[in-house]
Amino acid sequence: MPMPPPKPSTEGRRDRQIFHEMGQIVRALEQEGPQTPERLAEIVGARYWEANRFERALACAVADGRAVRTANGEIATV
């Protein structure tokens, strides 16, 4: 009997690079503490990343529970 197809996901396919970018974000937060998204982008050098990569990596880090948005709008590690 063949295996059933995988369940559909609302999340797009992740590439290997996104895990590296998420790691950069988490390490920066561990070293520097909670940051605004703008400051965090500066710290990790997101201006050199492809368009929208920082926003996607940050969203994935939050979705995976590796980072959280605080009440005052900063991003922090869990």
Q: What is the mean pLDDT of residues 12-37?
A: 91
Helix (H) or strand (E) holding 1: none
More confident residue, 46 or 9: 46
Asked if 58 and 37 count as a contact pair (C-beta separation under 8 A), the reply is: yes
Long-range contact pairs involving 8-11 (C-beta distance under 8 Å, separation at least 24): 11/63
Q: Give the global pTM.
A: 0.80
Angle separating helix axes 16-32 and 53-63, nearest 10 degrees: 80
Domains and CATH numbers, the chain: 16-77 (1.10.10)
With bands split at pLDDT 50, 70 and 90, how would you rate the model's confidence at 2? confident
> Locate tokens 């880090």: which residue?
61
Which pLDDT belongs to residue 7?
59
pLDDT (tens digit per residue) in 33-51: 999 999 999 999 999 999 9
